[in-house]
Amino acid sequence: MLLNLEIMFHFCMMMGVIIATGSNNWFTMWIGLELSLMSFIPIMSNKTKLNSESCIKYFIIQSLSSSIMMMGVIMMSTSTNYKLMLALSIMLKLGMSPFHTWVISIAEGINYNSIFIMLTIMKLAPINMLSYMSMNLSLLIIMSLIMGSISGLNQNSIKKMISYSSIFNLSFIISCINNFYIWITYFIIYSISLLLMTMIIMKTNFLYVNQLILNNFNKSIKLTLWMILLSMGGFPPLLGFFGKLMVLMYIFNTKNSLMLMLMILGSLIVMFFYMRMIFLSIMFFSDLIKWNISFKIKFNSFILISTLMIPIILFNLKS
């Protein structure tokens, strides 16, 4: 086949994100968002039972938010309340609490590649649009912190846990939206961590938490999985910890004690449900007799370098 449609859809999606991110015109941003939306729906489609429902839900939600956005753009010339409409449409596109339920239901019907694109690349343009608006979003940030951390505790599905974790991390990004360097650095750190996590989960083919009990993978894969889960939870000195530390220092300088306390408590809760996954796999480390286990372990070098060396490089570049 001369034209690979998957490559074309990925290219058009990235072009839409670049157009929406690099433009200073609301109408051009809307065009970029629509282009990325129309290109992402064929990417997320597959032959599973829940997939068609997920695609329709995603299309309806994004179309509704785009309609609200165009209404806000039209209201710019007629009314002074257009910022509320634009913020509402962007929050709906991002899936922040209390507009987060569509993210959870859609994530169950798509594969991990599509989940990674939906939770990272497709959110870059709306976050950038939100940075242009000087609005106080403290209430929505607090709601997302509480919802993203507490709701992930009773989940058995790994896809739902990743979705609730993304809502929690999104609140970290929006809390420092006024400082471009901090939010884009945190966004890159979260994207790298999520990419590594989806890679190792696709390799091990986990769908539910209790599958970690009944596994017989080699030791290098298990240790790599533990390290990535610790990084996602924000365990020092791994990659995810430095992003959270940077945002917490920014919030501390703004003297917002309530949000700082909720962020720290929410991070502990998120760390708890990632540690739960690790403990389940540690307790049933292998079906071999323990004294027969060899400790000559070949780590996945790409994963190790990403989780350990990137934070050092980032902070050296900053200084």
What is the reported pLDDT for 316? Answer: 54
| Banded pLDDT at 292 (limits 50, 70, 90) | very low
* 137: amino acid identity, one letter: L
What is the reported pLDDT for 44? Answer: 86
Q: What is the pTM of this model?
A: 0.85
Higher local confidence (pLDDT), 193 or 278: 193
| Banded pLDDT at 300 (limits 50, 70, 90) | low
Higher local confidence (pLDDT), 163 or 317: 163
**Left (φ > 0), alpha (ψ -120 to 50) or beta: where does 95 sit?**
left
What is the reported pLDDT for 15? Answer: 92
What is the reported pLDDT for 2? Answer: 46
Do 37 and 125 touch, CB atoms closer than 8 A? no
Higher local confidence (pLDDT), 240 or 318: 240
Span 124-152, pLDDT tens digits: 999 988 888 878 888 888 888 888 888 88
What is the reported pLDDT for 81? Answer: 76
Does residue 11 have a pLDDT over 50?
A: yes
* 244: amino acid identity, one letter: K
What is the reported pLDDT for 155? Answer: 82
Does residue 306 have a pLDDT over 50?
A: yes
For the segment 139-167, the average pLDDT, to the nearest whole number, is 87
Does residue 220 have a pLDDT over 60?
A: yes
What is the reported pLDDT for 214? Answer: 67
| Banded pLDDT at 317 (limits 50, 70, 90) | low
What is the reported pLDDT for 72? Answer: 86
Both tokens assigned to 111? 């594969």
Range of 197-201, 210-214, 220-224, 284-288 with top mean pLDDT: 197-201
What is the reported pLDDT for 303? Answer: 59
What is the residue extent of each domain of the chain?
Answer: 5-318
